[in-house]
Amino acid sequence: MRAVIVDCAIYRDGRRTEVPSDLAAALAEARSSGDAFLWIGLYEPTVREIERVSSQFALHPLAVEDALSAHQRPKLEVYDDSLFAVIKPVVYEHLSDTVSTDELMAFIGDSFVVTVRHGEGAPLAAVRRRLEAEPEVLRHGPTAVLYAISDAVVDHYMEVAGELQTDLEELETEVFAPTGGQDTKNTASRIYTFKRQIMEFRRAAGPLVAPMARLAGADVPFVHEHSQPFFRDVGDHLTRANEHVEGLDRLLSDILSAHLAQVGVRQNDDMRKISAWAAMAAVPTMVAGIYGMNFEHMPELGWVWAYPAVIASMGAVVLALYRQFKRRGWL
């Protein structure tokens, strides 16, 4: 069982203390103190492993089932003996310029916190170190853990949104450069791929607004009564991150529309050039076709200068068409 427990500690008056080897004994010790709580961190537990923990903490079976599945939407659910929260941290891969999401579940109850992590993006280790360095925050109990986790995840949302904006500005510069956007298929693919990254981000951050608003309100069980301003601050940061990414999404749609318009303009230019050259080629083709019909009674056949005159006439007409098309910008 210790293999799946990443960290386990009792925090008494904001200070970390030794934990008994038995979870039931550790929980009883935390509850008997009155000013302590037990925090257990699990990493991708199996069914048997999480059932052992759930039996000790009386976790609701529906919440346990959700904690085993790494495909949940951000949410907040209240059960009789615990509060269950799902948060999706966002991971930005710099090498591939892709956004991916992990999952983080937290059970908050009477004198205990159980966190379940799926993936490598959840900042639980950093959150625990930060809280252990701030005992005055840990004195607020399990609510402090939920707040610190939410705050860390949302702050990282802001960082990822800033990195996405930087990449989008680079893409915008390439699309609108004088020689940019020539590879139409590749450019459109990059824009579409970028839009998928924005969508992945919004799927993680958007649904989290409602749980944060609920935690910022009153009458949420197992949440400290004076924690509303802190969750309201997290909600404000989350709103800013969502508005930032929504603006990026709109800008990306505008870039795609502008790129398609550029493609249409280039296609029109190409068609005009093709039409102009086709028109110039049609004149000598038509004249040559007439004289290639082998009629007997054609007065020009007896003229000494007929052949050079016809050639000169064709050249003059083609030159006149060329100057006309050039003046109108078709060539």
Residues 285 and 200 in one domain: no
Residue that terminates a domain, selected from 238, 262, 286: 262
- At residue 1, the pLDDT reads 45
- At residue 2, the pLDDT reads 45
User: For strand 98-101 and strand 15-17, is the pairing parallel, antiparallel, or unpaired?
Assistant: unpaired
Helix, strand, coil percentages (3-state) for the chain, rounded to 5, are 60, 15, 25
In 3D space, the residue among 61, 33, 43, 36 whose CA is nearest the CA of residue 2 turns out to be: 43
Residues 316 and 236 in one domain: no
Residues 42 and 154 in one domain: yes
Q: How many domains does the chain have?
A: 2
The pair phi, psi for residue 92, each rounded to 5°, is -110, 120
Q: 219 or 109: whose pLDDT is higher?
A: 109
Q: Over 60: is that where the pLDDT of 181 sits? A: no
- Tell me the average pLDDT across 261-274: 77
Q: Binning pLDDT at 50, 70 and 90, where does residue 310 land?
A: confident
* CATH code at position 66: 3.30.460.20
Residues 257 and 273 in one domain: no
Residues 286 and 229 in one domain: no
Residues 257 and 296 in one domain: no
Residues 224 and 322 in one domain: no
- Average model confidence (pLDDT) across the chain: 85
**Per-residue pLDDT tens for 30-50?**
888 888 999 999 998 888 888
Tokens of 245: 């990414």
Residues 250 and 290 in one domain: no
Q: Binning pLDDT at 50, 70 and 90, where does residue 244 land?
A: very high
Residue that terminates a domain, selected from 262, 292, 319: 262
- Tell me the average pLDDT across 286-297: 71
What percentage of the chain carries pLDDT values higher than 90?
35
Residues 61 and 176 in one domain: yes
CB 8 within 8 A of CB 38: yes
pTM: 0.78
CB 30 within 8 A of CB 112: yes
Domain that holds residue 291: 268-327
DSSP string, 191-248: HHHHHHHHHHHHHHHGGGHHHHHHHHSS--TTS-TT-HHHHHHHHHHHHHHHHHHHHH
User: For strand 36-43 and strand 90-93, is the pairing parallel, antiparallel, or unpaired?
Assistant: unpaired
- At residue 295, the pLDDT reads 66
Which amino acid does the sequence have at 266? R
Crossing angle (nearest 10°) for helices 23-33 and 47-57: 30
Q: Over 70: is that where the pLDDT of 184 sits? A: no
Residues 210 and 292 in one domain: no
Residues 69 and 211 in one domain: yes
- Tell me the average pLDDT across 4-31: 86
Residue that terminates a domain, selected from 212, 246, 262: 262
* CATH code at position 272: 1.20.58.340
- Tell me the average pLDDT across 184-198: 81
**Per-residue pLDDT tens for 88-138?**
999 888 777 788 899 999 999 999 999 999 887 677 888 999 999 998 988
Q: Over 80: is that where the pLDDT of 305 sits? A: no
Residues 242 and 180 in one domain: yes
Q: 302 or 280: whose pLDDT is higher?
A: 280
What percentage of the chain carries pLDDT values higher than 70?
92
